[in-house]
Amino acid sequence: MIDAEKQIIYWRKGSQEDIAVARELLDKKRIRHGLFFVHLSLEKMFKAHFCRVTREVAPKQHNLLKLAERAGLSLDEETLDLLAVVNFFCLEGRYPDTLIPEPAAEEAATYLLKVEKVLEWLNRQFE
C-alpha cells in the first residue's frame, strides 16, 4: 500500500516548483523551455489529483487530457482546449520531430497566465 498523502505532497510541491521555473525561463525569453515547464507543472498537479482520488501511484503518462480524465476532474471546454495546446509543449521538449513554430513571448506569457489560473483552481480542490 502506498502512502497517498506523501505522493500528493510530492506532486503538488513539484508542480509549484515547476511553475516557478517556467516563469523564470519565460522572463528570460527561453520560450520553448519555459513552456515545457508549464506543461510539467500541470502534469504533476494532475498526478496529485490522481493520487487523491485513487490512492494509487500516479501513472507514468504525460498527456494532460488523459491525466485529467483519470483523476476524475470535470473541466470546462476552454480548459480542455488549453490542455490540448499545452500538450504540444511537452512533445517539443522531448521529440525533435514534433517541433512547431515557437510562440512569441507575449503568447507564451498568455499561456502561463491561463495555466496559473487552472493551477489555482486545481489547488483549491484540495481544500
Domain ranges of the chain: 4-124
CA distance 103 to 124: 30
pLDDT at 97: 66
Q: Return per-residue pLDDT of the chain as tens, 127 residues.
A: 789 999 999 999 999 999 999 999 999 999 999 999 999 999 999 999 999 999 999 999 999 999 999 999 999 999 999 999 999 898 755 666 666 778 999 999 999 999 999 999 999 999 8
Choose the CATH number for 4-124 among 1.20.120.330, 1.10.1040.20, 1.25.40.10, 1.10.510.10.
Answer: 1.20.120.330
Q: What is the DSSP letter of 28?
A: T
Cβ neighbors of 19 (< 8 A, separation 6 or more) are 37, 38, 41, 115, 116, 119
A 10 A CB-CB count for 34 gives: 24
With beta carbons less than 8 A apart as the criterion, state whether 43 and 59 touch: no
- At 102 the pLDDT is 83
What burial class does residue 38 get, using C-beta atoms within 10 Å of its C-beta: 0-12 exposed, 13-18 middle, 19+ buried? buried
Question: First vs last Cα of the chain: how many Å apart?
Answer: 24
Model pLDDT, residue 98:
63
Burial of 35 (0-12, 13-18, 19+ CB in 10 A): buried
